[in-house]
Amino acid sequence: MKLVVDSNIVFSTILNSQGKIGNLNINGSKYFDFYSVNLLQSEIFEH
C-alpha cells in the first residue's frame, strides 16, 4: 500500500519515535511504501 506522509508527521516521528505514529513510520516500511515531497529532506537537515 502506498502512503503519502506529511512533513509534520515525519517531524512528529523524529520527536517521539515510541508513539503510535512513530512506530508506524519506523516499522511500517515492511508493509507500506511511504512517499513525501523532495523538500522534506532539506527541511529535516535545516531544523
Categorize the per-residue pLDDT at 44 as very low, low, confident or very high, splitting at 50, 70 and 90: confident
Kindly report each contact of residues 36-45 with a partner whose C-beta sits within 8 Å and lies 24 or more positions away, as own/partner.
Answer: 36/4, 36/5, 36/6, 36/7, 36/10, 37/7, 39/7, 40/7, 40/10, 43/7, 44/10, 44/11, 44/14
pLDDT at residue 33 tops 90:
yes
Q: Which three cell numbers stand for residue 15?
A: 520527536
Q: What is the pLDDT of residues 1-26, one digit of tens each?
A: 999 999 898 998 888 888 888 888 88
Categorize the per-residue pLDDT at 47 as very low, low, confident or very high, splitting at 50, 70 and 90: confident
| pLDDT (0 to 100) of residue 24 | 86
